[in-house]
Amino acid sequence: MSFRSEVREWLDENCPESCRGPGVVPGGGTIAPMTDDQKLWIDRCADRGFTVPTWPKEYGGAELGKEEYVTLLQEMRDLEVRAPVSGMGTIMIGPTLLEYGTPEQKARHLPRIARGEVWWCQGYSEPSSGSDLASLRTRAEDAGDHFVINGQKIWTSGAQFADWIFCLVRTDPDVPKHEGISFLLFSMHQPGVTVKPIRLISGASPFNETFFDDAIAQKDDLVGGLNRGWTVAKRLLQHERSGIGSLASGDNRESGPELHELARDYVGHDDGRISDPNLREDLARHNIDATAFRLTQRRTVEESQGNTPGPATSIFKYYGANLRKERAEMQVSMMGTQGVGWEGAHITGDEQETTRQWLAGKAGSIAGGSNEVQLNIIAKRVLGLPD
């Protein structure tokens, strides 16, 4: 039996029906709520190594090669099987530890990520340190076998569900700002860590303020060496911006209903053809751009020999954010007043969700590094232009 046939059969037999179709599995951890089916799906995939398919087997992966990994993701897409584990553990801190972690750090943290036992959050941005992240002020003081952390982070996505955080802290205030930063891992379940949700205009609260008052991080959880955290932090951002899973599959399909279906329902059609010729042209252009973007992602990962690309990931971050915002604008435009409804009997649940996604999507060109930052990286590190 070929690998493709074997994988398809295994996925079809083992994935519960409730874990198929649009949506995501919460991804594990001790706080985020999960159904019995979601937990079962994580456990089955973890036993097979499919939560982190390319990782070494000793850390919970399946050691799939690039072609096998692409095949797995394609079959998951075709069967509409949801990824068993998502979030910052598998996409960001896990790959970073594989590169920069000590053997002990890998052995202690990676298998727990692979089994969906820990939910991670990111401690980067601060109230006065956003795009100029290296100006951060959260301090970590040496206390022998551990660090004592004091300060504040903001826009901490998922902190209300997180078990652990990977955090940038200042460990030497007397050197140039990029040279006095360290990269620490520590538990969110301890005295001295306070999380306060930030309510957004979209109605949801994925972001938080996070406060540290004499919080503790063990010396064993210093990644990359003292005062060398900036290098680790930049590499983690490349993992985040690459979206390696969608790169490999060439999928990364946009969430929500198909645009041509919305157009037929809200604008009207003539024998299956969207009535408005200008809308037909705009929709065709958007679909061509989105397809070209996915194909470029796939080609990039195939040329990268399985490794996450470097500064070129900023291209994906910049262009992908713009595509998603453009899609949301087209949705609400086609739906008219039904696309901007907040509540009321005349607004369906799907229409409310469209409004909220449109508003939340405005943050896409800021979160994870603003478009302006990405353009600077592209100009300097990809195109080699002078400062």
List the catalytic residue out of 240, 254, 258, 329.
240
Q: Which two tokens stand for residue 145?
A: 């076998």
CA distance 357 to 202: 7
- Whether residue 63 lies in the annotated active site: no
Dist CA 201 CA 360 (whole Å): 8
Burial, 241: exposed, middle or buried (Cβ in 10 Å; 0-12, 13-18, 19+)?
Answer: buried
Burial of 2 (0-12, 13-18, 19+ CB in 10 A): exposed
CA distance 115 to 27: 9
Which residue from 117, 125, 61, 58 is spatially nearest to 89, judged by alpha carbons? Answer: 117
E-state strands within 234-308: 269-270, 273-274
Among 249, 223, 256, which Cα is nearest to 97's? 223
With beta carbons less than 8 A apart as the criterion, state whether 219 and 146 touch: yes
Inter-residue contact 128 to 137 (CB < 8 Å):
yes
CA distance linking residue 77 with residue 245, whole number of Å = 11
Active-site amino acid positions: 240
